[in-house]
């Protein structure tokens, strides 16, 4: 039997769930994994919270120095979040030769190259399963489950807050601002929801996951990002009538022409497996050259689901003497040999408000033709839907779905249509067929 001592930095939602899981399942891990994992110390300013969790007073550390100099602590768990204090504490732990397990996606996304270099130098581990997709074992799958494959693409719903908001808007016809307030009340969204609704959280996770999937560094600065704050309930309803479901997707594609990585609201066919992933659940859909299609699905956040991923890393680190590091050259910037595609290809959904006069449709179709864009659907679908008020009695809504084209071409077409003086493009949403 192997004995392993751990320390937990930060006992908020995730840290508290991790402490609870480790204490309650200690005998179970001893029986099933032949390892005795003991929480030796915790570090958190909120003493009331520690008392509520039942942390013995003798296990409450007063400083990070007390933890990193403790010979009984083998693994340090960081669940503080953010970059400042968390990064300083993790750096101290790695410098002292302590293996680190973290749920901190922003820190891993931006500084894994520094932290991994330090871990290698001091012959300790750096594990971060819980940084992406909550309790869903996506990182372990990439490392130990699908490594026989060249991963060609991945699409993921990796943020529970935005998925909850879009689900409520789709099924209840609710307004974005109204659902956001509800999500904040329920604790799904922060008081400042920017990281979630503007796509930063998904961007950090895509950087981590695509780097691992494609075996090359994908800096977050290379990722196209667009959030959901401008999403209109009309488009969700109209998309539904056309057979589409709207999701905020993190998309990575590794093609012969280069790598494309993007986060944005996306229409997908209602028959696609990701279309049925609702509320705060997350999922990642991958395509491998040998495996084909595979999807991992589960809770993307929460105390115990995320704690499950944290403790999984602790057990892995405790039971494996060989330490695994990145399968790629982990540097701050991308390798110079990697080409990133910014003018990516997609189909597009557009909602326009146009003059209700003869010849308008011909002029708009002419613009698409001049831009080399062919159309799948052109419809005044909004006239069938009485849910939404008419914005302008002299104009009619027009919904268009294009065949696959490029970002540059569609943006050129939008600019030309808006310059005609007969209407304007109100919404532009990418479509993954």
* Active-site choice (105, 205, 234, 253): 205
Claim to verify: residue 158 and residue 103 sit in the same structural domain: no
CATH of the domain at 20: 3.40.50.720
Torsion of CA 370, 371, 376, 380, to 10 degrees: -70
Residue 356 belongs to domain with CATH number: 3.30.70.260
Mean predicted confidence (pLDDT) in 248-276: 97
Residue 389 inside a domain? The answer is yes
pLDDT digits (tens, 9 = 90+) for 380-390: 864 445 555 55
Structural domain that includes position 75: 2-131
Q: Do both 152 and 204 map to the same domain?
A: yes
Each residue of 307-353: pLDDT tens digit? 999 999 999 999 999 999 999 999 999 999 999 999 999 999 999 99
- Same domain (yes/no): 173, 76: no
Q: Which residues contact residue 144 at a Cβ distance below 8 angstroms, ignoring those fewer than 6 apart?
A: none
| 216-240: average pLDDT | 97
Q: Is 266 inside a domain boundary? A: yes
In a domain, 214, yes or no: yes
Residue 300 contacts by C-beta under 8 Å, 6 or more apart in sequence? 133, 134, 135, 136, 157, 158, 159, 160, 163, 280, 281, 282
> What pLDDT sits at residue 391?
63
Q: Are residues 16 and 151 in the same domain?
A: no
- What's the total number of domains in the chain? 3
In a domain, 191, yes or no: yes
Active site residue 121: no
Q: Are residues 151 and 278 in the same domain?
A: yes
203 and 282, same domain (yes or no): yes
Instruction: Read off the pLDDT band of 422 (50, 70, 90).
Output: very high
End-of-domain residue from the set 299, 325, 353: 299
With respect to residue 318, please indicate whether it lies within any of the assigned structural domains.
no
Task: Please state the pTM of the whole predicted model.
Answer: 0.95
- Per-residue pLDDT tens digits for 20-78: 999 999 999 999 999 999 999 999 999 999 999 999 999 999 999 999 999 999 999 99
Q: How far is the C-alpha of 80 from the C-alpha of 4, rounded, in Å?
A: 22
Give yes or no: residues 229 and 365 share one domain: no
């Amino acid at each position: 039997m192997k004995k392993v001592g751990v320390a937990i930095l930060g006992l908020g939602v995730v840290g508290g769930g991790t402490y609870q899981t480790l204490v309650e399942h200690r005998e179970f891990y001893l029986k099933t994994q032949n390892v005795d994992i003991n929480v030796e110390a915790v570090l958190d300013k909120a003493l009331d919270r520690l008392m509520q969790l039942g942390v013995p007073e003798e296990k409450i550390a007063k400083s990070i120095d007390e933890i990193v100099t403790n010979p009984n602590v083998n693994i340090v768990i960081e669940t503080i979040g953010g970059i400042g204090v968390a990064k300083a504490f993790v750096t101290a732990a790695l410098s002292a030769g302590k293996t680190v397990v973290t749920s901190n996606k922003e820190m891993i996304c931006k500084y894994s190259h520094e932290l991994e270099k330090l871990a290698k130098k001091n012959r300790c581990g750096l594990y971060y399963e819980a940084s992406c997709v909550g309790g869903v074992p996506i990182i372990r799958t990439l490392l130990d489950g699908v490594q026989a494959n060249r991963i060609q693409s991945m699409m993921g719903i990796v943020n529970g807050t935005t998925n909850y908001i879009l689900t409520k808007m789709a099924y209840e016809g609710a307004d974005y601002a109204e659902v956001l307030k509800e999500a904040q009340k329920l604790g799904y969204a922060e008081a400042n929801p920017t990281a979630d609704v503007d796509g930063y959280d998904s961007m950090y996770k895509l950087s981590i996951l695509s780097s691992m999937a494609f075996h090359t560094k994908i800096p977050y600065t290379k990722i196209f990002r667009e959030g959901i704050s401008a999403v209109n309930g009309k488009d969700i309803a109209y998309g539904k009538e056309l057979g589409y479901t709207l999701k905020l997707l993190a998309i990575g594609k590794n093609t012969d022409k280069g790598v494309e990585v993007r986060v944005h609201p996306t229409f997908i066919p209602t028959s696609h497996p990701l279309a049925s992933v609702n509320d705060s659940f997350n999922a990642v859909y991958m395509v491998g050259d040998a495996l084909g299609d595979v999807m991992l699905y589960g809770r993307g956040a929460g105390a115990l689901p995320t704690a499950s991923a944290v403790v999984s890393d602790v057990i892995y680190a405790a039971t494996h003497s060989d330490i695994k590091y990145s399968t790629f050259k982990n540097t701050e910037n991308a390798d110079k040999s990697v080409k990133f595609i910014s003018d990516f290809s997609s189909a597009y959904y557009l909602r326009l408000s146009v003059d209700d006069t003869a010849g308008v449709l011909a002029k708009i179709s002419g613009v698409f033709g001049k831009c080399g864009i062919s159309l799948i659907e052109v419809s005044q679908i909004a006239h069938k839907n009485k849910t939404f008020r008419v914005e302008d009695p002299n104009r009619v809504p027009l919904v268009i779905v294009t065949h696959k084209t490029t970002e540059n071409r569609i943006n050129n077409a939008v600019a030309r249509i808006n310059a005609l003086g007969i209407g304007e493009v109100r919404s532009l949403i990418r479509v993954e067929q």
